[in-house]
Amino acid sequence: MKHNRFINCLFLFLNLALIAQCARFEDPAPQENSSTQAASPTLEKVWKHPTLGNISISTTLYAGHSIHSKSDTYIVIELNSESADPGKFRRVRYELQSGKLYLCEQSTLYDSFALANAGSDDAVFSGQGTSGCNSNAWTNLSLADTTPSSTLASEFETLYSTRCIDTLISHNGTVEAGFPASKAFGPPRGDGQYSGGLDVFVIGEAKEAIFRIQNIRVTNSAGIDFKIFENGFENQQATGTFGWDLGTVEVSFDQITWYGFSPQYSGSTTTATGKSNLVGLKPVRVNYLNNALPPKWNFAGGDGFDLANAREITNRADGNPLNFTYGNTLADNGITSIRFIKVVDGGTFLSDGIVASNGLDIDAICVFSWQNDI
């Protein structure tokens, strides 16, 4: 668990394809209670969009895109690399009224931030969200319910064709109060690029845990086959430096023969240069409760592994994963699927980042290629 690291904690949110034309959505008046109506509503909340589901707006991000400027009436965003128009800019007019958010969602794309920032702002809010959005209606959003539920988790897994671990096979560490193994079950609940989430299972310094998904085998397909979501974070005051607990991953069909991914660790203890095939390198942006980013996306965070790269560990004599030797691949040994995923904290072999830790913090482990285990 990493401590004292909530630096400007952000909510991240669904990568929207902003609609080309505003549409009118009828929504009942907000209920008179503290959860849906505030005297001074703020933009930085999780909102329920009538057609796109839950979205979040933070101080620096809008729908998974970077906010380059913001005023009391508009936001200028740069579309991220996962969008259809990466690097383009868009201007979004908004209005907050009685605990609701009204968006004037326009289709205009700009080639530069300067053009978008200087764009005309002729959208006029009518007071009821019914007109004035450049002669179109405003989109009406209410506050979202982000209460965790097994139904939401199941819907997330179905939507993105993923399955996430649900069973702890073994753990040789001591369970830290408030951070049991069940925290690692289900989809990820990350806390963003600059903050580590608390919905995690603490493995412990130099300890290990073995997981699986009941009735599922992980199979090899093109690209990454599973991701491990830890809770490292980037230091917002020193871009490119990280607070992390690093570890390694091994996979097995039978818990007898284990296969690893040749981890690499060199250079500074706080920067990503010289490090690969490790658990905990990438902060977790995806949170199935309030942004539902597709977990396989690079932008969603987490560390991905391809079973095609796993090789049998033939010598681990000194215990240092950087010195292990490797032999055949899974395919070489006639193995077409695996049941078990083992995560191992790096202990003294893999130094912590900018904060001291007491072991890997597992948010989730999700697979993208699988078959039923009959």
Predicted local confidence at residue 126, as pLDDT: 63
Measured distance CA(331)–CA(128) in Å, rounded? 62
Predicted local confidence at residue 132, as pLDDT: 67
DSSP β-bridge partners for residue 313: 326
Predicted local confidence at residue 10, as pLDDT: 30
Predicted local confidence at residue 165, as pLDDT: 97
Q: Based on the fold, state whether residues 121 and 187 are members of the same structural domain.
A: no
DSSP β-bridge partners for residue 103: 94, 139
Predicted local confidence at residue 133, as pLDDT: 75
pTM listed for this prediction:
0.70
Average pLDDT of adjacent 10-residue blocks, the chain of 374 residues: 40 31 30 34 78 74 80 86 85 84 82 83 60 74 76 89 96 92 95 90 95 96 96 91 94 97 94 95 91 89 98 95 97 97 95 81 97 87
What lies within 8 Å, CB to CB, of 126 at 6+ separation is 132, 138
CB of 36 closer than 8 Å to CB of 142: yes
Q: Based on the fold, state whether residues 313 and 206 are members of the same structural domain.
A: yes
89, 112, 146: which is the final residue of a domain? Answer: 146
Q: Based on the fold, state whether residues 182 and 53 are members of the same structural domain.
A: no
- Nearest of 210, 164, 126, 140 to residue 365 by alpha carbon: 164
Q: Based on the fold, state whether residues 55 and 159 are members of the same structural domain.
A: no
Q: Based on the fold, state whether residues 116 and 237 are members of the same structural domain.
A: no
Q: Based on the fold, state whether residues 336 and 210 are members of the same structural domain.
A: yes
100, 122, 146: which is the final residue of a domain? Answer: 146
At 185 the three-state DSSP class reads coil
Q: Based on the fold, state whether residues 211 and 355 are members of the same structural domain.
A: yes
Predicted local confidence at residue 108, as pLDDT: 81
Q: Based on the fold, state whether residues 30 and 179 are members of the same structural domain.
A: no
CB of 286 closer than 8 Å to CB of 277: no
Give me the number of domains the chain comprises: 2
User: Tokens in use for 69?
Assistant: 């400027």
Q: Based on the fold, state whether residues 24 and 81 are members of the same structural domain.
A: yes
146, 161, 181: which is the final residue of a domain? Answer: 146
What lies within 8 Å, CB to CB, of 151 at 6+ separation is none
Strands 370-372 and 325-329: unpaired
Angle in degrees, CA 60, 190, 35, rounded to 5: 70
Q: Based on the fold, state whether residues 203 and 251 are members of the same structural domain.
A: yes
Q: Based on the fold, state whether residues 71 and 18 are members of the same structural domain.
A: yes
Q: Based on the fold, state whether residues 305 and 320 are members of the same structural domain.
A: yes
Predicted local confidence at residue 37, as pLDDT: 34
Q: Which range of residues forms the domain containing residue 58?
A: 1-146
- The phi, psi pair for 42, rounded to 5°, reads -115, 155
